[in-house]
Amino acid sequence: MDWRHRITKTSIKMKKVLTILSVALIVLATSCKDESQGEIKLVTPEEMQTLLEQKDVQLVDVRTPKELEDGFIDNAQNIDFNSPTFDEDILKLDKSKPVVLYCKSGGRSAKCAEKLQAAGFIKIFDLDGGITKWKFKGFKIQTEN
């Protein structure tokens, strides 16, 4: 066998090995999801109503205490996004239970969802359109504790 034939044969084998490794890496990259990073799911008022019927759901209103005077969703706990202790307060929530967030229109709750995700919470739901859309769709709100 001359040297050109050996190089061609070796080159073909290397191409096969590289192809197999490439396919293996693609499969590995697309099939393994990082479970330590929770997913944030934007939910409609109808989907949120269904979530609230489940056991162990933590409902969090991230509006200010003044905004709560206009009404809130029943069983919500208030953790004011603008509070200086906000970052500490959200870490008191149970990471193993679903967290459902809302604010007035969706901006603050989206930021809160990202903080929860970074802190290792797994199931995070954010009400699309906030309590404004919740009320518009005709869902009940409480005005007194």
Same domain, 110 and 129: yes
For 49-104, the pLDDT digits (tens) are 999 998 899 999 999 999 999 999 999 999 999 999 999 999 999 999 999 999 99
Q: Is there a contact between 65 and 134 (Cβ–Cβ < 8 Å)?
A: no
Task: List the CATH number of the domain containing 77.
Answer: 3.40.250.10
Number of structural domains the chain divides into: 2
Domain coverage including residue 15: 1-32
Same domain, 106 and 129: yes
Q: Please tell me the distance from the alpha carbon of residue 40 to that of residue 4, in angstroms, as a whole number.
A: 57
Q: Please tell me the distance from the alpha carbon of residue 60 to that of residue 2, in angstroms, as a whole number.
A: 75
Same domain, 97 and 27: no
**Which pLDDT band holds residue 35 (cuts at 50, 70, 90)?**
very low
Residue 50 lies in a domain: yes
